[in-house]
Amino acid sequence: MNVSQVNFSTIDYVIFVVYMAILVSVGLWVSRTKNNVKKTSDEYFLARHSLTWWAIGTTLIASNISAEQFIGMSGSGFKSGIAVATYEWISAIMLIIIAKWFLPVFISKKIYTMPQFLEQRFDSRVRTSLAVFWLVLYVFVNLTSVLYLGGLALKTVFGVPLEYAIYGLAIISAIYTIYGGLTAVAWTDVIQVSVLILGGLLTTILALNAISDGHGPVTGFLQMMNKAPEKFHIILQKDNPEFINFPGIRTILTGLWITGMSYWGCSQYITQRALAAKSMQEAQRGLLFAGYLKILMPFIVVLPGIVAYVLKADITKADQAYPWLVNTFIPIGIKGITLAAMAGAIVSALSSMVNATATIFTFDIYKRFLRKEASDQNMVLAGRISSFAAILIAVSIAPTLKNLDQAFQFIQEYTGFISPAIFALFFYGLFWKRATSNSVLIAAAISIPLSALLKYLFPQLPFLDRIGIVFLIISAVIIVISLIESRDNHPGSIELTKKLFKTDMVFNSLSLGILILLCLIYYVFW
């Protein structure tokens, strides 16, 4: 057997099949038509603005975590140690910032899509350009790569043929996503995250218990820190071979913030969950709940890789660390839960992207250009058709990615090339009243060629540093062009008031809790 594949029993597969059947059934049930009343666009795309804080928090994490976190981040943990957890822990701070200063503006504007906000702030050219851009990115990069990498993970770990894995993931996601919209996606995500955390923690706990020879996971963790102290430095030094990926203190000061803020605060399939909240308070608390879950995630997806390193796992590649742990320490029956957690994470990410793609197409393309007088039923139908089309395109392209040398880098290069422009566009649109439409359009246009030029001229420049440099250049372009074009505030500028950003004691206390936890973590692992 391939060292990276896991031995599964019949009962493990039964558990997996039953779980998937329950997941699809719940998705169809929560989104069923009640009293023969047809779905409205508000229900299909924003879940009737009914999401509670705990539903928002779990669906954000389900949208974010996929199989690549289990396989890839465990592999990075094996190779780089706890440094890779920076991506997760700093995200918790970003969620506070977005909940405090971004969400109030988005929700007050009563928008369905991020391009819709851009039209309100700038003009229709910016809205259309970014809508088309995001549709291409979501379908041809995000959906396609998640399907491929998810299928590859299932093939690597479970021995499922790649094409079958891709088709299976797409079908399971499509069954309830196309019919139920965001309502089905959000409520099934609650189940997905519960199983993800359960399966992930079980793997970590059992492996740590093995390190301590049965004396418990806490003892195992302390012994692991003593046996491999080099793996528990969150800030790497220049002599570390992984420094180019995690460039010391600059890791938490430069490009990581740009990519993270672009992802958590400006992408449709993330912010759409908050826009579907029952109230502003529920939305903000949901993001903070997600922040606490992000603090937990490294102990589920990074720590197993370090455990495998300490136990001197018999593997040939770092990405085989997680499968090796499951094979070695997880008993029959529990492996089925692990399989369900991994596959469920992939399905959740797919469903979120499909729903976001349908929302942008329906509101920013279909209703504006194809059918301006579209009824609610027309829009729901357009959403379902576009969801099906997006999945179909992604399924047809995904298997071809196996011809790429590194598919994961395929994602990183594309997102890293455009995230500086996306974040700059929203940042200056929100917080600088003089930013003009032409300035942000030019900034968006130069982001990809500028990133490619810097990569070509300075191939040894750390990826995160390059993103930070591109953001600074783009910022300069926006500021200079805006100052040249006008001395007055843009007509669509946002009126920011203290009342808009006021938060209650619960929000402030929860935010403080996240910051205290992170200070303790960085103090321990510095």
Q: Are 412 and 68 within 8 A, CB to CB?
A: no
Check whether 409 has a pLDDT greater than 60. Answer: no
Residue 113, class by beta-carbon neighbours within 10 Å (0-12 exposed, 13-18 middle, 19+ buried)? buried
Q: What is the pLDDT of residue 47?
A: 85
Q: Which of 63, 66, 175, 152 is nearest to 398 (CA)?
A: 152
* Joined tokens for residue 432: 């600088």
Task: Give the three-state DSSP class for 51.
Answer: strand
Q: Are 394 and 170 within 8 A, CB to CB?
A: yes
In this prediction the pTM is 0.91
Average pLDDT for 240-257: 76
Check whether 294 has a pLDDT greater than 70. Answer: yes
Q: What is the pLDDT of residue 2?
A: 52
The span from the CA of 30 to the CA of 185, in Å, is 10
Largest CA distance in the chain: 71
Give the DSSP per-residue string, 185-201. HHHHHHHHHHHHHHHHH
Q: Which long-range contacts (CB under 8 A, 24 or more apart) does 260-264 make?
A: 260/87, 260/90, 260/91, 260/94, 261/94, 261/97, 261/98, 261/423, 261/427, 262/419, 262/420, 262/422, 262/423, 262/426, 263/415, 263/419, 264/91, 264/94, 264/95, 264/98
Q: Are 454 and 469 within 8 A, CB to CB?
A: yes
The span from the CA of 380 to the CA of 362, in Å, is 8
Check whether 405 has a pLDDT greater than 60. Answer: no
Q: What is the pLDDT of residue 126?
A: 95
For residue 314, name the pLDDT band (cuts at 50, 70, 90): confident
Residue 274: C-alpha distances to residues 104, 279, 362, 388, 417 (Å): 10, 9, 19, 24, 26
Q: Which segment, 16-30, 36-50, 242-256, is predicted with the most confidence on average? A: 16-30
The span from the CA of 396 to the CA of 387, in Å, is 14
For the stretch 441-472, pLDDT in tens is: 999 999 989 999 998 899 888 878 889 999 99
Could you tell me where in the chain the CATH 1.20.1730.10 domains are found?
10-32+41-403+496-525
Q: What angle do CA 302, 305, 310 make, to 5 degrees?
A: 130
Q: What is the pLDDT of residue 152?
A: 79
38: phi > 0 → left, psi -120 to 50 → alpha, else beta; which? Answer: beta
Task: Give the three-state DSSP class for 323.
Answer: helix
Which run of H or E residues covers position 419? helix 407-431
Check whether 84 has a pLDDT greater than 90. Answer: no
Least confident interval from 164-173, 335-344, 379-388, 439-448: 335-344
What is the dotted CATH code of the domain comprising 10-32+41-403+496-525? 1.20.1730.10
Residue-averaged pLDDT of the chain: 87
